[in-house]
């Protein structure tokens, strides 16, 4: 299975691949991500060991919030951008953090669904 680089370009390429799926397949992918984000990211992206350790150290509750919030943006096929501060570093800084900012709205009327907004993920590591 092809793995993508965990960079802004890699995430953009991966979301394009996801958004080419039909709704049912996209829902399966997003559910897999939201249920176990670390396993999903490991299967689909090239991540350094330090990055995986950082993700494992995030509380399960916080990981659930982040994964389902990002999952909602993916299900709505919204633009997802990622910004990485200190890219390429194997050793994470002491102030490593993850920020997810998501603004989205969904409107359903007369059998038509309209989704707007975006999702931005900022990683300082």
pLDDT digits (tens, 9 = 90+) for 54-69: 889 889 998 998 899 8
**Under DSSP, is residue 90 helix (H, G, I), strand (E, B) or coil?**
coil
pLDDT digits (tens, 9 = 90+) for 93-121: 666 676 767 777 777 888 888 877 777 77
Specify the pTM: 0.79
Whether residue 69 contacts residue 76, with contact meaning beta carbons closer than 8 Å, is answered with no
Q: Strands 80-85, 45-46: parallel, antiparallel or unpaired by DSSP?
A: unpaired
pLDDT digits (tens, 9 = 90+) for 10-44: 999 999 999 999 999 999 999 999 999 999 999 99
Residue 99 CB neighbour total at 10 angstroms: 11
Distance CA 75, CA 123 (A): 22
Residue 90 neighbours by CB under 8 Å, 6+ apart: 48, 49, 50
């Amino acid at each position: 299975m092809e793995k993508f680089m965990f960079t802004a370009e890699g995430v953009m390429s991966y979301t394009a691949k996801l958004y080419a799926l039909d709704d049912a397949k996209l829902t399966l992918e997003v559910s897999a991500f939201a249920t176990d984000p670390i396993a999903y990211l490991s299967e689909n992206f090239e991540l350094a060991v330090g990055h995986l350790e950082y993700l494992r150290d995030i509380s399960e509750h916080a990981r659930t919030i982040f994964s389902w919030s990002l999952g909602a943006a993916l299900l709505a096929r919204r633009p997802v951008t990622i910004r990485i501060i200190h890219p390429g570093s194997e050793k994470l800084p002491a102030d490593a953090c993850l920020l997810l900012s998501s603004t989205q709205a969904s409107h359903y009327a007369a059998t038509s669904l309209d989704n707007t907004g975006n999702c931005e993920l900022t990683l300082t590591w």
